[in-house]
Amino acid sequence: MLMETNEKSGQEQIKTSEDSVIVIYNEPVMQSALDAIPVLVKYGEIILRAKGNAIPNAVAVANIITENILKGNSKIHKITVDSEPIHEMGRTLSNIEIILRKS
């Protein structure tokens, strides 16, 4: 993780390594949460990404980490929800990105 201070605003901007990105699939949420803990400890921040039916799992993983495992030592920094068109099917696919930071 690389931190830079924006001289104009004085705010810190964090550039994360791709190693701190965790893609959540339809797997057991507790195992995904336990797999994410060492990454959060190492980088101080993780990004949980999920698409479609895996979105509830990403939300559950974020809640398990912040409310149970690292209660008081981590927080949800930002949540981004988006969708992308799937032209072959004429539908859209929702996706979510949840940024967790260690306090």
**Centroid of chain to Cα 45:** 8
Structural domain tally of the chain?
1
pLDDT digits (tens, 9 = 90+) for 11-22: 444 445 688 999
Query: Where residue 49 sits, what CATH number does that domain have?
Result: 3.30.110.20
**Measured CA distances, 36 to 12, 46, 89, 99 (Å):** 24, 8, 33, 12
> pTM, whole model, 2 decimals?
0.80
DSSP-based helix, strand, coil % in the chain, nearest 5: 35, 40, 25
pLDDT score of 7 more than 50: no
Structural domain of 58: 2-102
Percent of the chain scoring above 90 in pLDDT: 74
pLDDT score of 2 more than 60: no
pLDDT digits (tens, 9 = 90+) for 14-66: 445 688 999 999 999 999 999 999 999 999 999 999 999 999 999 999 999 99
Q: What is the mean pLDDT of the chain?
A: 86
Residue type, 85: P
